[in-house]
Amino acid sequence: MYKFFLLDADMTLFDFDRAEKYAWFETMKIHSAVLPDDSMYDFYHDVNEGLWKKFEKGETTKDLLVLERHRRVFLRYGIDADPAVFNECYLDKLGDGSFPLPGALDFAETIRTIADERGGGIYIITNGVERIQTRRLAESAFAPLADEIFVSETAGYPKPDMRYFDYVFSKIDGFDPALAVIVGDSLTSDIQGGNNAGVFTIWYNPEKKPNDTSAVPDFEAADYDEIIGFFKEH
């Protein structure tokens, strides 16, 4: 039975879409003379998502990513602002975004109980900036439920890079990949990462999106109850 539960953070436990939108609008109000609207945010979101996917594939660096995403918005909308200064404010605002997804806290509490019964643990695995992700967790209701959070910035590599998972596994006492499971919403980082690491994966897919990637989830769930049901039998 599984005892090491590796849970993705954003869009698996946290509502990152809400946190990201909040942070971006708040930062725009401070650093831009241009009044932000939803169409501008949608453009930023698409640019940011595309750059993160490139980062996961090793096609860009995080240092370039965090500035380029804002630079492209400024260029498109004629905004006179410093991308580096803007990004620092944005990250601070993002750290305030500890918004759990509906039902996520009950889900995590149930996993905590299962992990304790089996002598295991819960670990948050996430790509992102260390100071932001750790702050978001620390200020959330998930903090007392997780044994540790592993952020890609500290590991030196992002999911799905096998070196990220090597780092994570080395930090968990008594870790056994055969007794571990990864739960995440991202096929390209969580599920592909699990495939690379030889760990059982559960694709959390509430929107029932098609799988148009090479990643192969071992189990697919449309809601938290399906995942809990699986764990009670495994």
The two three-digit tokens of residue 169, written as one number? 């596994």
The question of whether 166 is a catalytic residue gets the answer no
Beta-bridge partners for 194: none
Question: Does a cis peptide bond (omega within 30 degrees of 0) precede residue 160?
Answer: yes
B/e letters for 70-87, b = 16+ CB within 10 Å, e = fewer, are bbbbbeebebebebeebb
The verdict on whether 212 is a catalytic residue reads no
230: amino acid identity, one letter: F
Q: If you ran DSSP here, which 8-state letter would residue 14 be given? A: B
HSE, side-chain direction, 13 A CA sphere, residue 57 = 10
Judge whether 182 and 6 are in contact, CB under 8 Å. yes
Inter-CA distances, 86 with 15, 25, 77, 138, 173, Å: 22, 11, 15, 24, 40
Task: Provide the annotated active-site residues.
Answer: 8, 10
